[in-house]
Amino acid sequence: MPKSAQKNRQPMLFDELRREPEGTSPIARELAGWRAFGKRTAYSTTVAAGASGRIVVDTFTNEYWSSAQRQGHGLHEVSYRACFKPELPAFFVERLTRPGDVVHDPFMGRGTTLLEAALRGRVPFGNDVNPLSAMLLRPRLSPPRQADVEARLAALDLGACEVVREDLLAFYHPDTLREIGALRSYLLARAREGTLDAVDDWIRMVAVNRLTGHSPGFLSVYTMPPNQAVSVAAQLRINEKRNQTPPRRDLRAVVARKSKALLAAVSDEDRATLAAVASRAVLSTAPANATPSIPDASIDLVVTSPPFLDIVQYKDDNWLRCWFCGIDAESVQITMARTVDAWAASMRAAFLELRRVVKPGGHVAFEVGEVRRGSVRLEEVVLPVAATAGFQPELVMIHAQKFTKTANCWGIGNNDKGTNTQRVVVLRR
């Protein structure tokens, strides 16, 4: 695979350059002149070795969205490992699409891109290899009313279940675990019978998000942050160290409270906007390199973030959520590339599929991390891969900010092994 031809040049303030960025696309001009948080944009170039020579791309570094936490729409507030903040997709959706356009994410995770696009009146298309992903997103495209959620919760028979998995007593009080087991059986039966409705779908999404966490708002005893579940053995060690036993939690109350918090963020206007696009959504469980449910040349904009090499253990982190949803976590083929070459090969396959589905003139904003303490710059890997697949590089945008402790614990930043800047390669089909 092509190696980067040289390191990025020393950044300089864009003002000192006294020229327009190459290609002068409106977005490049805007990034160059960015002042929103008081800092001026630093300019550099990203240089990569392409199949037919060097690829040199204007690169703009600044703080492009606020470092304050939880700025986005409250409906995004479900945890997921390595999700990005809604400000990232919002930035590109606003500038590169119009209402009614189609926005796609082939590595959709909790669905940040697609929910943000839908809240802005764009039609969401997306896929992920993990079926959990659509289960987290779909209900939020058609949010129910809280009164219906509470009525359904009240009608459920949560008493009629034995403890199904003794090992989970490491996380839960026996009575709470019985309730979790009863809800799980109910949801699986409804899915099997084809009677799972929008309210069930919503309750499943909320319950998944309450399975484990570090406060009484979750069903479990104190554990890791809610976007990942530790193993049973690790939880037993946490319990011993903290001298804790799982307290009784009332499943109905925990789910109702989180549901209320999510739905409080949804205005009537949001409901109308979502209703106009949700029925046209195309969500599937599929690998990024084969998405047959998406028609040729149907996409206006892709905003996505693939797994960064093998940094995040999605399978391990999601094992408990998968169990609850009846998903065999072992059978989910997550891309885990140990080497940069292997990663490039899987991204090449994803870009070939993007070439099929993105409209000529459409855009891709491809977010990659700064991995291995900055020694691997995945944007330099993406550029030749995307160019070979028929995409024209427009620019590289580097969002730099100080990550807070909260951001780290929610998996947004990971200064030791993961991301401490967000690096977005912007391409045109």
Ligand X SMILES: C[S@@+](CC[C@H](N)C(=O)[O-])C[C@H]1O[C@@H](n2cnc3c(N)ncnc32)[C@H](O)[C@@H]1O
Should residue 227 be labelled a site residue for ligand X when binding is judged by CB under 6 A?
no
The answer to whether the Cα torsion of 422, 424, 23, 8 is positive or negative is positive
- For 61, phi then psi, to 5°, come to -120, 130
Should residue 288 be labelled a site residue for ligand X when binding is judged by CB under 6 A?
yes
CB of 288 to ligand X, least distance (A): 4
Residues in the chain: 429
Should residue 128 be labelled a site residue for ligand X when binding is judged by CB under 6 A?
yes
Surface-to-core class of residue 265, CB atoms within 10 Å of its CB (0-12 exposed, 13-18 middle, 19+ buried): middle
Should residue 357 be labelled a site residue for ligand X when binding is judged by CB under 6 A?
no
Should residue 287 be labelled a site residue for ligand X when binding is judged by CB under 6 A?
yes
Q: Which stretch binds ligand X (CB under 6 A): 122-130, 175-183, 271-279, 375-383?
A: 122-130
- In the complex with ligand X, the residue whose CB is nearer, 111 or 246, is 111
* β-bridge mates for residue 102, sequence order: 123
Q: How far apart are CA 366 and CA 424, in angstroms?
A: 5
Q: Which residues within the stretch 309-328 sit at the binding site for ligand X (CB under 6 A)? A: 314
Tokens of 394: 């427009």
CB of 140 to ligand X, least distance (A): 12
- In the complex with ligand X, the residue whose CB is nearer, 41 or 97, is 97
Q: How far apart are CA 346 and CA 20, in angstroms?
A: 35
* β-bridge mates for residue 127, sequence order: 284
How many CB atoms lie under 10 A from the CB of residue 403? 17
Should residue 82 be labelled a site residue for ligand X when binding is judged by CB under 6 A?
yes
Surface-to-core class of residue 10, CB atoms within 10 Å of its CB (0-12 exposed, 13-18 middle, 19+ buried): exposed
Q: How far apart are CA 158 and CA 179, in angstroms?
A: 5
Q: Which stretch binds ligand X (CB under 6 A): 124-132, 223-231, 294-302, 413-421?
A: 124-132
Of 78, 82, 89, 99, the C-alpha closest to 126 is: 89
Q: How far apart are CA 177 and CA 408, in angstroms?
A: 29
Decide the pairing of beta strands 376-377 and 370-371.
antiparallel
Should residue 61 be labelled a site residue for ligand X when binding is judged by CB under 6 A?
no
- In the complex with ligand X, the residue whose CB is nearer, 190 or 355, is 355
CA geometry: angle 28, 348, 93, nearest 5 deg: 35
CB of 319 to ligand X, least distance (A): 13
Tokens of 102: 């189609």
Surface-to-core class of residue 254, CB atoms within 10 Å of its CB (0-12 exposed, 13-18 middle, 19+ buried): buried
Should residue 107 be labelled a site residue for ligand X when binding is judged by CB under 6 A?
yes
CB of 354 to ligand X, least distance (A): 12
Should residue 130 be labelled a site residue for ligand X when binding is judged by CB under 6 A?
yes
For residue 332, what is the DSSP state? -
Q: Which stretch binds ligand X (CB under 6 A): 102-110, 206-214, 269-277, 390-398?
A: 102-110
Should residue 391 be labelled a site residue for ligand X when binding is judged by CB under 6 A?
no
Which of 25, 62, 97, 112 contacts ligand X by CB under 6 A? 112
Q: Which stretch binds ligand X (CB under 6 A): 59-67, 78-86, 150-158, 184-192?
A: 78-86
CB of 110 to ligand X, least distance (A): 4
How many CB atoms lie under 10 A from the CB of residue 100? 12
- In the complex with ligand X, the residue whose CB is nearer, 182 or 424, is 424
CB of 224 to ligand X, least distance (A): 18
CB of 81 to ligand X, least distance (A): 7
Q: Which H or E run contains 32? A: helix 26-32
Report which residue's Cβ sits closest to ligand X.
109
- In the complex with ligand X, the residue whose CB is nearer, 31 or 108, is 108
Q: How far apart are CA 160 and CA 177, in angstroms?
A: 12
- In the complex with ligand X, the residue whose CB is nearer, 288 or 426, is 288
Should residue 335 be labelled a site residue for ligand X when binding is judged by CB under 6 A?
yes
Of 81, 140, 143, 132, the C-alpha closest to 116 is: 140
Should residue 84 be labelled a site residue for ligand X when binding is judged by CB under 6 A?
yes
Q: Which H or E run contains 199? A: helix 198-210
Tokens of 211: 């399975």
Which of 60, 80, 218, 351 contacts ligand X by CB under 6 A? 80
For residue 307, what is the DSSP state? -
Q: Which stretch binds ligand X (CB under 6 A): 106-114, 160-168, 382-390, 395-403?
A: 106-114
Should residue 422 be labelled a site residue for ligand X when binding is judged by CB under 6 A?
no
CB of 126 to ligand X, least distance (A): 10
Which of 164, 334, 352, 376 contacts ligand X by CB under 6 A? 334
Site residues (CB under 6 A) for ligand X? 80, 82-84, 106-107, 109-110, 112, 128-130, 133, 287-288, 305-307, 314, 334-335
